[in-house]
């Protein structure tokens, strides 16, 4: 009886939250986490202090993605709740922060050197995403983990940029010798370039070079040259770095996490958007953003993502932005699918071999077998441009397939062995991973299907006008 009463009280305490209706596992700990991370409100410290004794701290840290562990520890300290939280958990957060600090020291050193070389050779570049957010949107760069540095360069300067990066000691790792776009990324949009990480041997420094943005051509009517016309500069660790302008940066963040990754980047990607909007609140023109989102053709992605950000963190996005924009199709279903991705257990999901999850997510045995055989197709790498461009051998097709299999055995066998040892190959783990892949596919089908319909309508109107 007491358990039933406790469950009822927990449901009552969280049922009012906008997210609770879209994510069945939503709990008191989810509510507490979002309050900690979200926009400060009057008397929030008192509200959190009252809620803290009711929180299962072990569960709170378990549902918090690893890439938010350091930031969670920071917010707990900021609100004066360290005495409520077990010391071991706070130590884990501090360890994560130290690890990020060390990684940033190396990446910062490498970027400084590259900036000097780029400037010396008059090569334009833009720093994207995480490196910008960590130093200007987060309270401290150690609170925002990063896996690599993303740089945008002009297409005509790509070869020179890759040479300078190569001269600095960066190389494409051997594991990408037989890279195929169809297995590097779960789904490749026509015209999309695949940027392989360039790695400095003996370090954890990774750099990805891009000439495209998800929010611009070739998918949307935004010339990349127009983007280059509005580049800004910002202070970054005592130096000035070029970044996208405030609105283009927001478009890029939203399209990257939604259309680019179907929300599989998790809660931190939503928090990134929230912190950027909060930082740039006085500069953002929401009427212009709404009109431009419609004109460019990604209003559905903007509406869905920004609604989730606002609902999660009380982000200062005006209600009129949503009221004056068409609602995406199947919005309720889209939110359920997206929150499933956002709150997925990244610790467990990351241990499941991705290709196995993709294979099991297929709707039929035939499709699953076809998915596996894509790995054996050496021609798959020819249709999608890669940075850096890989040398495709002229050897016989069967010989390339055989060499790819040998490379897979060398690289992937240890991954599958570890997955077997840690229990990640259990059917329940595989089924959860496959369900997430199916959810991403459904999000893509709903919204990209609508994009294709709009494109067909536009062509029909143009054809009619020409007649």
CB 45 within 8 A of CB 79: yes
CB 142 within 8 A of CB 97: yes
Residue 149 banded pLDDT, cuts 50, 70, 90: very high
Please tell me the least confidently modeled range out of 221-225, 306-310, 378-382, 416-420: 378-382
Does residue 206 sit in helix, strand or coil?
A: strand
In tens, the pLDDT along 235-244 reads: 887 789 999 9
Q: How far apart are CA 357 and CA 373, in angstroms?
A: 15
Domain ranges for the chain, please list them: 12-93, 349-466
Q: How far apart are CA 263 and CA 283, in angstroms?
A: 26
Q: How far apart are CA 30 and CA 25, in angstroms?
A: 9
Percentage above 70 pLDDT, the chain: 75
User: What residues have CB less than 8 Å from 370, skipping those under 6 apart?
Assistant: 362
CB 67 within 8 A of CB 257: no
Position 4 scores a pLDDT of: 39
Does residue 128 sit in helix, strand or coil?
A: strand
User: Is the C-alpha dihedral spanning 112, 118, 122, 124 positive or negative?
Assistant: negative
Distance of CA 401 to the CA centre of its chain: 31
Q: How far apart are CA 243 and CA 247, in angstroms?
A: 11
Q: How far apart are CA 387 and CA 444, in angstroms?
A: 25
In tens, the pLDDT along 291-301 reads: 999 999 999 99
Q: How far apart are CA 359 and CA 434, in angstroms?
A: 8
Residue 9 banded pLDDT, cuts 50, 70, 90: very low
Position 58 scores a pLDDT of: 96
Position 172 scores a pLDDT of: 87
The CA angle 34-261-362, to the nearest 5 degrees, is 115
Q: How far apart are CA 85 and CA 158, in angstroms?
A: 49
**What average pLDDT score do residues 146-159 get?**
94
Position 371 scores a pLDDT of: 62
Residue 329 banded pLDDT, cuts 50, 70, 90: very high
The DSSP secondary structure of 212-253, one letter per residue, reads --TTSTTTSS--HHHHHTT-EEEEETTEEEEE--HHHHHHHH
Classify residue 209 as exposed, middle or buried by CB count within 10 Å of its CB (0-12, 13-18, 19+).
buried
Position 423 scores a pLDDT of: 66
3-state helix, strand, coil in the chain (%, to 5): 60, 5, 35
Q: How far apart are CA 64 and CA 85, in angstroms?
A: 14
Rounded to two decimals, the pTM is 0.86
Average pLDDT, the chain: 84
In tens, the pLDDT along 197-210 reads: 999 988 888 999 99
Crossing angle of helices 427-466 and 331-342, in 10° steps, is 140
Asked if residue 34 has pLDDT above 90, the reply is yes
H or E element that contains 150: strand 149-153
3-state SS track over 378-420: HHHHCCCCEECCCCCCCCCHHHHHHHHHHHHHHHHHHHHHHHH
Count of helices and strands (H, E) across the chain: 21, 8
Give one word for 413, left, alpha or beta, with left for phi > 0 and alpha for psi -120 to 50: alpha
Strand partners, 206: 199
CB 126 within 8 A of CB 244: yes
Residue 412 banded pLDDT, cuts 50, 70, 90: low
In tens, the pLDDT along 335-387 reads: 999 999 999 987 765 666 666 677 777 777 666 666 656 655 545 444 677 88
Crossing angle of helices 28-37 and 299-313, in 10° steps, is 100
Residue 411 banded pLDDT, cuts 50, 70, 90: low
């Amino acid at each position: 009886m007491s358990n039933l009463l406790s469950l009822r009280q927990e449901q009552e305490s969280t049922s009012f939250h906008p997210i609770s209706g879209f994510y069945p596992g939503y709990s008191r700990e989810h509510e507490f986490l979002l309050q900690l991370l979200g926009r400060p409100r009057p008397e929030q410290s008192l509200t959190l202090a009252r809620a803290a004794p009711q929180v299962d701290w072990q569960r709170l840290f378990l549902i918090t993605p690893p890439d938010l562990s350091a930031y969670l520890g920071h917010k707990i300290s900021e609100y004066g709740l360290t005495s409520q939280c077990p010391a071991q958990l706070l130590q884990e957060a501090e360890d994560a922060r130290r690890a990020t600090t060390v990684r940033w020291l190396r990446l910062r050193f490498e970027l400084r050197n590259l900036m000097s070389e780029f400037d010396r050779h008059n090569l334009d570049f833009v720093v994207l995403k995480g490196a910008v957010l960590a130093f200007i949107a987060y309270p401290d760069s150690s609170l925002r983990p990063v896996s690599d540095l993303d740089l945008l360069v002009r297409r005509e300067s790509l070869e020179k940029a890759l040479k300078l990066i190569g001269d600095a000691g960066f190389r494409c790792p051997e594991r990408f010798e037989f890279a195929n776009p169809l297995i590097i990324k779960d789904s490749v949009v026509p015209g999309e370039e695949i940027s392989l990480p360039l790695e400095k041997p003996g370090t954890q420094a990774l750099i990805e070079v891009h000439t495209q943005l998800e929010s611009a051509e070739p998918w949307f009517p935004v010339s990349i040259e127009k983007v280059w016309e509005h580049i800004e500069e910002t202070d970054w660790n005592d130096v000035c770095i070029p970044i996208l302008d405030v609105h283009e940066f927001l478009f890029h963040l939203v399209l990257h996490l939604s259309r680019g990754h179907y929300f599989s980047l998790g809660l931190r990607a939503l928090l990134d958007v929230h912190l950027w909007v909060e930082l740039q609140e006085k500069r953002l023109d929401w009427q212009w953003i709404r009109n431009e989102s419609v004109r460019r053709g990604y209003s559905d992605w903007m509406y869905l993502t920004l609604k989730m950000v606002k609902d999660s963190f009380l982000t200062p996005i005006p209600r009129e932005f949503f009221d004056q924009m068409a609602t995406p199709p199947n919005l309720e279903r889209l939110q359920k699918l997206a929150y499933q991705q956002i709150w997925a257990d990244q610790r467990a999901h990351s241990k499941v071999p991705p290709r196995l999850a993709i294979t099991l997510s297929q709707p039929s045995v035939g499709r699953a077998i076809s998915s596996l055989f894509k790995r054996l197709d050496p021609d798959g790498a020819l249709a999608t441009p890669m940075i850096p461009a890989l040398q495709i051998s002229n050897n016989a097709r069967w010989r390339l397939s055989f060499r790819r299999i040998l490379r897979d055995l060398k690289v992937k066998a240890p991954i599958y062995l570890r997955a077997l040892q840690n229990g990640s190959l259990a059917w329940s783990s595989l089924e959860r991973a496959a369900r997430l892949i199916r959810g991403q596919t459904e999000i893509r089908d709903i919204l990209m299907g609508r994009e294709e319909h709009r494109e067909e309508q536009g062509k029909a109107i143009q054809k009619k006008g020409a007649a």
